[in-house]
Amino acid sequence: MAEPQIRVARPDDVPALVRLVHELAAYEKAPEQCRLTEEQLRERLFGESPAVFAHVAEVGGEVVGTAIWFLNFSTWDGVHGIYLEDLYVTPEHRGAGLGGALLATLAQVCVERGYSRLVWQVLDWNAPSIAFYESLGAVHQREWFTYRLSGDPLQRLGTSS
């Protein structure tokens, strides 16, 4: 196997990134919910005001994994952090350390830039990922619940006066 490389995503990686996001949605048993297009991701990553960032894991010139993230802000710490939206490595490349290398790269970004945290979510049934994250020292924030407002409820609230 060729030596893996972790690097910042480039515009020519967008088709592979979109493919990986759709693979992740299928893995998470929700492929019908993923509507991401190349145009959308290209604009968010490389447009006039990028607000999303990505790193890729590349093996033999092929993008086989990704970490897609954006900045958050801790009012308590007074500094930014990273929210990891997607971490995904193709099944045939799992177990080779690519997920850990992607997370280590994001941790390095946090340390270099003075960010106070790296945060992500994992589905409660995803035992292999949970075990992996905990092996790195990540802590499950059991006292916090995630809420999401989307679809019709978001529209109703966003258009009420």
- Residues with catalytic function: 133
C-beta of residue 75 within 8 angstroms of C-beta of residue 39: no
Give the list of residues 6+ apart from residue 33 with CB closer than 8 angstroms, or none: 25
C-alpha–C-alpha distance, residues 37 and 22, integer Å? 10
Taken in order 119, 120, 125, 126, the sign of the CA dihedral is: negative
Structure token digits, residue 104: 């280590």
C-alpha–C-alpha distance, residues 78 and 86, integer Å? 25
